[in-house]
A and B are shown apart, each in its own frame.
Chain A
Amino acid sequence: MKTLKYLTIIFASIIAIAACDRYLDQDPYQEISEEMSLSTDRNVQAVLVGAYAAMNNQNLYGGLIQTISELLAGDGEIQFVGTYSGLRQIFNKETLVSSNENARATWLQAYRLINICNNVLSALDVVNQGNKARVEGEARFLRALIYFDLVRLYGNKTYIDGDTDNNQDLGVPLSLNPTRGNPNAFKIPRATIQQVYDAVIEDLTKAANLLPLTNNYYATKGAAQALLARVYLQMQKYALARDYADSVIRSEQYSLVPNYADVFNQNEKTTEDIFVNKFTPQTRFSAMTEYWSVPQYGGRDGDIDILNGHLNLYPTGDTRRALFFNGNGAMRSGKWNNQYGTVVIIRLAEMYLIRAEANFRLGTAIGDTPLNDINLICQRAGLGPNYYTTITLSDILLQRRLELAHEGHKLHDVKRLRMNVGTRPYDHPKLTLPIPAREIQAYLPVVLVQNSGY
């Protein structure tokens, strides 16, 4: 009897244990393995969607990339009055330090996007032939888009055409392969400004050849060419800028929206939009709304006041002036009042402005004359068909400033045109973001060089 009992125990224990061991193998439900993610056509395309989701992030094109540019170059036209200390530092510049939380957040999210693009580009072999060109083109476009902004925001100097310093001044680390294994192995040194621009142009040139003309909300041939126009303009390579802008305009894929106000706060892409960042209630809200708008539209407190210094630049009757509104005790930009709408990244009007400026500088009239291009923009702004009868470079630049106000171009134009921000010249070290302190720490003992102002 006793033996039987003991046997029962032993037997029961064995059964119990044998049955239990399988409980130790638990696979996640909300995640899948890295290998599986890059194993099929469908999965790689899903990772590509992930790249757009990363781009959508508030720390990138969801608002911060544009807002940093406007705030860092903010002077007399806007006033930051919000409480986010990071943004306040950026606006004040004097108090901007290497631990700035926005400089950190944008940096981290940018490289996150880059790694996703690198992952997609590493797995093109499994993508179906019919999708391959488009998938590669989109990944290259997104990678170029973010590198271009990284080098402009974090590069130690601005790009000056023909200056050999471009080959010495530090841009940002250039990571073109996916991160595998220990991320600590990826202590990539900062590439030169020239190297980063080269990589951007290579990606965009390839993307422009690979991408289709239309592609829903995703990158297109037009988007790649438009971005090339923007890149070459920044590099003061006006002929190339002009030709790409002209090519986009003549592609007949885009047309100006009749009313300026209808360019913004849209739920869907407009005919003028070349590339947008799309928000839906399922993503987070646009940070452009958060920073620039007021509580009734989902904004914060009205963190950025638009000053008369800006408002007085508009001529009477300008519908672009009419878009500003009084909210929470000050004038606000009316471009960002739809928190779940589209945030425009590149639109057709910019192409006209690039073509006009480049043609003017080169004394050419490829596509159309600068006068006609600018008058087209002015006409849409409610200023009549022939607002200018003759045109100067400063007219063109003024129209550019008004047309594209508060869309994230300010800092880059200041640097390109070698203007001042207050008393600071365009190459003042505080007009560049610091390399985040956390990144310098994480690189140790490898030295990641800090920018000269920090």
Chain B
Amino acid sequence: MKKICSLIFALVLLGSVYAQQRKVTGTVVDASENTPIPGVNVLIKGTTTGTITDANGKFEISAAPEDVLMFRLLGYKTEEVLVGAQTQLSINLFPDIETLSEIIVVGYGTQIKSKVTGNIAKVGGEEIKNMPVPSVELAMQGKAAGVFIESVTGKATSATRVRIRGTTSLSGGNEPLYVIDGIPINNEALNLHGGAINPLASINFNDVESIEILKDAAAAAIYGARGANGVVLITTKKGKKGEATFEFNYQRGVSVASNRRDFMNAEEYIKFFRMAGRNADRYEMRLDNAPEEDSINYDFWQTFVEKRLKRYSGHAAILDENGNYLGSAVNTDWQDLVFQTAKNTSVDFSARGGSDKLRYFTSLGFTEQEGIVISNGFKRMSGRLNLENNAREWVDLGVNMTMSVTDLKQINADNAFANPIQAVALAPITPVRDTNGILYDRPTTTYYNPLRHSEYAHRKINEYRNITNAYANIKFNKMLTWQNEIGYDLYTLKENHKLGELTNDGQNGGYGFSNYGQLQTFVTKSLLDFKGTFGDFGVSAIAGTELLYAVRDRTWVTGERFPMDAFITLDAAGSITEGKQTLEKYSFLSYISRATLDYQEKILLSISGRIDGSSRFGKNNRYGFFPAASVGYILTKEEFLADNSTISFLKPRLSFGKTGNAEIGNYRHLGTFTSTQYNNVAGLTPYNVPNADLTWETTNQYNAGIDFGLLNNRLTGEIDYFMKKTSDLLFEVPVPGVSGYSTMLKNIAATENKGFEISLTANILTGNLKWNTNVNFSYLKNKVTNLAEQEIVDPGSSRFMNVLMLGQPIGVFYGAEYAGVDPTNGDALWYVNGPNGVDSLGNRLTTNQFDEANFVVLGSPMPDKMFSITNSFEYTVAGFKLDLSFMFQGVFGNKIHLAGDPYMAASGEWFDNQLRSQLNAWTPTNKNTNVPEARLIFANGTESRSSRYLEDGSYVKLRTVQFGITLPKSLLNQYKVNNIRLFVTGHNLLTFTKYTGWDPEVSSDAFVNNLRSGIDFYSPPQPRSLVFGVNMSF
């Protein structure tokens, strides 16, 4: 600290040595907004003498009359003024309309885009405004190269998966760190039932000014042990000096499921299962080596099918006079009953303005989105107040505060019988209701009828969130500021269920559940911020500390035996069956520093270092150091390119940095026992295997990039190549079960993500018809490079085939390779593969015994190529401004495991309604097919770990289309309205894919984790929406 101080003094002194002549003072203002500009470089041309303007745009410099003063600031055109006789100057700087001059938010500060040496993608608030999605990250989908974003399912309340430059972690978190206005916020769902919800949905993204995504390590390393998955910095709108501007947005629309699957109707179902029963009997004969004449004795399954058909038809069964089943009077389309046309509404009001000293932004928002699946929906109410106050000459105070309430109608996770989508498994011959009008259930339905949940279950989640931060920035002088900030993210969740007696879990007089969860995150930080110019050198530096402390507690109670369904609170429960409380705490203590240096604003250098300590790490590894360095060179500032007519901007950059991933759970380094109980007596049971070496996962990332502008910056772009090497990856390593444990968390593995990203923006037409195109493309190759001593870690699941394998992407699909159907008997076949996979002639061998098929790599669950292309047009006619933009977005190279298809495309193994594809099953007259013979009960090729149930998941979607009309000012002025824009937005209107499931953009919320992804299991598709709205400002 002392050293920094003396350095500052020395530099200040150095500057004053040259100040000999007379004093010139002045003010620099923005010519377009007439506001003072701080931080402008004032330089005597041809010398290294200079100063910078203060917060009020004022400067003071000693200069001779013949000196020429240069006023330079990135983002503005440089001005030159001869001093002459003047001692009082008033300088107007004109903004340089280049995208490269944008201000970019970086970790713990801001920079001008052209000076940034790391890789940061910026998404403006305007780009995401009014998107018909629940949460901020979904609104960003396709807006940044190398950033993969998907909603886990099409449920309105679903969690999202965001992967910045690929998946790195096997057991830890893979989601980026989210930071709102400088405060790292919680992104952990606290609900206990159903799929994880999305805590970010509690944030109103119409309040967002900009989102910066820190992709490379040079940008993210300042977040140290939490930066390895990238960092998403969300900056909310701040006040603006001047008269209040009011903005009002209103929109309304509808959504529907973007796809349906094709299931059998009643007639097909009956015919198909009678065939499956016949084939089952015949197959059993084959197993028993029984002669054909015994077939009269083999009728068990045929009889069984007739009984079941009758049973499943309920009151709709049509029987002959002998009671034989003839058919069903109904043809129920269960799929149709669980999807709905969903309405959505969003209203948003904001005001911003302020005086010289005090500026404010405030907003209120309301959003309601019904789910495309019955019983599902999302509502949010939110408010925000952001204040900035220049309290004294030496101190700025400010506060950013938001409060929100959400109200979610949540449905069960994908794997639950009560998941509405699972209704597709019910037979089309089954009537929806019995003769008393009650929804049918088992034994008439094949499984629990999930529609009952829509009539007899209340499942509700409310989230209450307050994110507040307050700061005081103390300015010691023009160059040195001391920033102090405290932040508090209070996230409270209430989850209440009441299942009536007619639901599957409510048979004991109803079932009630109440969960109260709270996560509090406190952050305090104290930073010294230095900015200065010394001759040709621009210096900025920060140094400080940050403490983050989080407390998570949860209390939940379940009860049964309610007097009647009408009681929905646990107060009425006759017996409390479970009552629990858990408490967890964790902390991070960090020391932060960064220095950036530029020479003549063309050679740029940045170094940073962060030390992070965390309660999550073992004693032996409590503190980690995360350094980063980057350089950039703006070649267009050199003479040989300065006046080049083609190349208007060119900046190569290089960076290296180390980041960590501390999302490893709490207390995992300790060897522990936890509580349990038997016969109502409390006990202890082994819980966690100790590991004192447990530590964060480390990512070393290298990035080489180039920023360029061509043809007067009409075409600008960025190209980056990166390599992320992650080591010490935590993994729940399977250990011999004989030890009494099944896994142990260890830092064992390593992965690598390599790839490149291209981002281009072209202003193709700039006249009255404006045409702007933006293209993002990224390629990513992920592979596991170390698995301790193992070649493969296979959790050994019979249902899922994601494994870790050396040299392959994380979670690669590994299973039997389906070889179609044996034309002679209809048996499913798999390739034998492995050492005995070919015969002496080199022919590939097949087997009808699944266990004889050696597993092989079948594909990756993560796409290796992603792109988006956005075209925007603007045209003014008769004062009306028309705007049109549409974005196509796509991913390529991934496979999806249709893990629900072993039930719905199962060659009639059980009575689940089957996809119509199964009608093509093998028969003696249909031998040329890849659908095995239909056989009830005798699984024929329905093993889930087979390429039979794996499909290409590539898709291209017309993600958004927006068309707007802005009314002419002349028309509005008389009503004192500044602006009215009417618009219509379409979301997910078209999907191009070969995938036969509901939606390739899906991952089951019941099964997905770091290892297991690309799984579709009765997961609803994404909504397709059409929204009409108006933006108004006055």
Which A positions have Cβ atoms within 8 angstroms of B? 2, 5-6, 9-10, 12-13, 16-17, 20-21, 23-34, 36-37, 43, 46-56, 81, 83, 85-86, 88-89, 92, 94-95, 97-101, 104, 107-108, 111-112, 114-116, 118-119, 173, 175, 178-179, 181-184, 186-188, 216-217, 278, 280-283, 294-298, 301-302, 327-329, 422-423, 436-439, 441-445, 454
Contact = CB atoms under 8 A, between A and B. Distances in A.
Contacts of B903: 83
Contact of B615 (A24, A101, A107, A112): A24
A111 B738 contact: yes
A372 to B, nearest CB: 36
A16 B549 CA distance: 13
Interface stretch (B85-93, B512-520, B680-688): B680-688
Contacts of B740: 111-112, 114-116, 118, 175, 178-179, 183
A28 B667 contact: yes
Nearest to B476: A5
28 contacts: A21-B589, A23-B587, A32-B674, A34-B671, A49-B681, A53-B677, A83-B910, A86-B798, A88-B937, A94-B938, A97-B850, A100-B798, A107-B737, A108-B742, A112-B686, A114-B740, A118-B740, A175-B739, A181-B690, A184-B733, A188-B738, A280-B680, A328-B442, A328-B443, A437-B794, A442-B736, A443-B736, A444-B790
B441 interface: yes
Given A6-B1, A50-B684, A97-B850, A33 B794 contact: no
Contacts of A101: 797-799
Given A46-B684, A116-B685, 14 more contacts: A6-B5, A13-B545, A26-B585, A29-B583, A37-B673, A53-B677, A119-B686, A183-B689, A184-B736, A186-B736, A281-B578, A329-B307, A436-B796, A442-B737
Interface string B398-414: 00000000000000000
Interface in B279-320: 287-288, 307-308, 311
* Most chain A beta carbons < 10 A, residue from B673, B684, B735, B741: B684
B37 to A, nearest CB: 27
Contact of B735 (A25, A46, A85, A184): A184
A16 B585 CA distance: 19
B679 A280 contact: yes
Q: For chain A, what secondary structure do more than half of its interface residues adopt (helix, strand, loop), or is it mixed?
A: helix
A283 B678 contact: yes
Contacts of B678: 49-50, 52-53, 55-56, 278, 283
A295 B672 contact: no
Given A33-B671, A283-B678, A298-B508, A47 B737 contact: no
B939 A26 contact: no
Q: For chain B, what secondary structure do more than half of its interface residues adopt (helix, strand, loop), or is it mixed?
A: mixed
A187 B545 CA distance: 47
Interface string B601-639: 000000000000111000000100000000000000000
A282 B675 contact: no
Interface in B794-818: 794-799
Given A26-B667, A53-B683, A298-B507, A281 B560 contact: yes
Contacts of B583: 29-30
A79 to B, nearest CB: 8
Nearest to B912: A83
Contacts of B442: 294-295, 301-302, 328
Interface of B: 1, 5, 287-288, 307-308, 311, 441-443, 446-448, 476, 482, 504, 507-508, 524, 526, 528, 545, 547, 549, 560, 575, 577-578, 582-587, 589, 613-615, 622, 666-667, 670-690, 733-742, 744, 789-790, 792-799, 850-851, 902-903, 910, 937-939, 943, 945
Contacts of B799: 85, 101
Contacts of A328: 442-443
Nearest to B688: A31
Contacts of A9: 1, 482, 526, 528
The 10 A-B pairs at the shortest CB distance, nearest first, are namely A115-B740, A49-B683, A438-B796, A183-B739, A50-B685, A31-B672, A26-B615, A281-B577, A183-B735, A23-B587
A418 B815 CA distance: 37
Contact of A115 (B582, B686, B794, B939): B686
Given A23-B615, A116-B685, A187 B504 contact: no
B789 to A, nearest CB: 8
Nearest to B394: A5
A441 B734 contact: yes
A9 B685 CA distance: 49
Contacts of A295: 441-442, 448, 504, 507
A52 B680 CA distance: 11
B526 to A, nearest CB: 6
B307 A187 contact: no
B798 A49 contact: no
B851 A32 contact: no
Contacts of A108: 737, 742
A309 B426 CA distance: 30
Given A26-B666, A52-B678, A283-B678, A187 B587 contact: no
Contacts of A95: 850, 938-939
* Most chain B beta carbons < 10 A, residue from A95, A217, A437: A95
Contacts of A56: 678
A242 B589 CA distance: 69
Given A31-B687, A86-B798, A183-B689, A49 B676 contact: yes
Contact of B672 (A28, A278, A443): A28
* Most chain A beta carbons < 10 A, residue from B482, B682, B686, B799: B686
B796 A437 contact: yes
A20 B547 contact: yes
B670 A28 contact: yes
Contacts of A294: 442-443
Nearest to A91: B937
A351 B58 CA distance: 101
A31 B674 contact: yes
Contacts of B586: 26
Contacts of A188: 736, 738
Contacts of B443: 294, 301-302, 327-329
Nearest to A339: B508
Contacts of A6: 1, 5
Nearest to B673: A37
Contact of B794 (A92, A178, A438): A438
A334 to B, nearest CB: 17
Contacts of B666: 26, 28
A49 B792 CA distance: 37
B737 A439 contact: yes
A277 to B, nearest CB: 9
Contacts of A115: 686, 739-741
B741 A183 contact: yes
Contacts of A17: 545, 589
A159 B794 CA distance: 33
Given A28-B667, A280-B680, A301-B447, A54 B685 contact: yes
Contact of B686 (A34, A98, A329): A34
Nearest to A54: B685
Contacts of B613: 21, 24
Contacts of A442: 734-737
Contacts of A29: 582-585
A24 B307 CA distance: 65
A320 to B, nearest CB: 25
Contacts of A47: 673, 683-685
Contacts of B910: 83
B786 to A, nearest CB: 16
A5 B586 CA distance: 33
A26 B672 contact: no
Contacts of A302: 442-443
A173 B667 contact: no
Contacts of A445: 789
A433 B572 CA distance: 46
A17 B507 CA distance: 56
